[in-house]
Amino acid sequence: MADEKKRLDSNVAGNFFVDATCINCDTCRQLAPTSFEEVGDFSAVTQQPTDEGLMHQAYQALLACPVGSIGTEHNDKLRMKEAMVSFPLQLEDEVSYCGFNSEKSFGANSFFIEHPDGNWLVDSPRYLKHLVEAFEQKGGIAYIFLTHKDDVADAEKYAAHFGAKRMIHRADVEAVPGAEWIIEGADTIQVMPQFQIIPVPGHTAGSMALLYKNRFLFTGDHLWWDSAQKMLGAPQQLVWRKHVLVDSIQKLLDYRFEWVLAGHGDRMRLPADQMRTQLQALVERRQTTRVLP
């Protein structure tokens, strides 16, 4: 829980605040964008929540924060409980955002797919009793898809509890040496009728995307929605090979999808044609500034 003694001066007066332990991972700004904004090197409460909906979002952000840097002067236990039971947070149909982001992955988002042939966890949240019980109620976890080596977090604990198979690319396997399913090479793999694994090296050598139902693209740290610029974005720093990253972004033009569900950066749903236009614009921006090794 956050410490009032470490409360940042950038917070407005009121019940909710962010303290100096913030790692500026963007989790709170995604969940409660009306209340939280980036101020300098941290997130801060720039507008106190004033109605039930905004209050619910603020408590969701408090719970999801990977380092517990969000606090309240006066905690509302009922609202906290309501926020707790809202996770996993349904996005559309059988796809949910897990919440409870992990410090081990620098606050990366993780997702859950409920499927009759076995449920999928995409990257890993914190290992918590609440999520374990929620996943059990939905039939457990059969597969854990790891987009790349940075967002593994507590995947090993979830795999052990549920007997799930962890998937990771060979190039990033050092992060999960005991992985049960190793993806090889650069070609797209149709692993099940509705699931395609698309290697997208660039951020790391073993970065992968998961395309589900030709609608939901889980992208890890390869691609995200930039909510400030209102356009798709991709890494500029911490990139394994920049020219390979550009090729991997362009590769996604071969696929149709409506959702971008990122580990870091915001998630977004657009009609497939608009998403392709956004992707093409990103490719063109990156090709213009392309840097060869």
DSSP characters for 131-158? HHHHHHHTT--SEEE-SSGGG-TTHHHH
Query: In CATH terms, is domain 87-288 a member of 3.60.15.10?
Result: yes
**pLDDT (average), residues 127-135:** 98
Token readout for 292 is 């060869």
**pLDDT (average), residues 261-275:** 97
Bridge partner list, 129: none
Residue 290 has pLDDT above 70, yes or no: no
Token readout for 4 is 């009032």
Compute, in degrees rounded to 10, the torsion defined by CA atoms 180, 27, 247, 259: 90
Q: What pLDDT, in 10s, does the model give residues 4-39?
A: 999 999 999 999 999 999 999 999 999 999 999 999
Instruction: Report how far residue 152's alpha carbon sits from residue 173's, in angstroms, rounded to the nearest whole number.
Output: 11
Instruction: Write the CA distances from 29 to 46, 101, 191, integer angstroms.
Output: 11, 13, 34
Token readout for 112 is 């859950």
Instruction: Report how far residue 193's alpha carbon sits from residue 78's, in angstroms, rounded to the nearest whole number.
Output: 42
Q: What pLDDT, in 10s, does the model give residues 180-225?
A: 999 999 999 999 999 999 999 999 999 999 999 999 999 999 999 9
Q: What pLDDT, in 10s, does the model give residues 90-114?
A: 999 999 999 999 999 999 999 999 9
Domain ranges of the chain: 4-84, 87-288
Token readout for 207 is 């970065």
48 touches 16 (CB < 8 A): yes
% of the chain with per-residue pLDDT over 90: 96
Instruction: Write the CA distances from 70 to 84, 109, 239, integer angstroms.
Output: 15, 17, 30
Residue 42 has pLDDT above 50, yes or no: yes
Compute, in degrees rounded to 10, the torsion defined by CA atoms 246, 250, 251, 257: 130
36 touches 29 (CB < 8 A): yes
Domain 4-84 is of which CATH architecture? Answer: 2-Layer Sandwich (3.30)
56 touches 80 (CB < 8 A): no
The mean predicted confidence, pLDDT, of the chain is 96
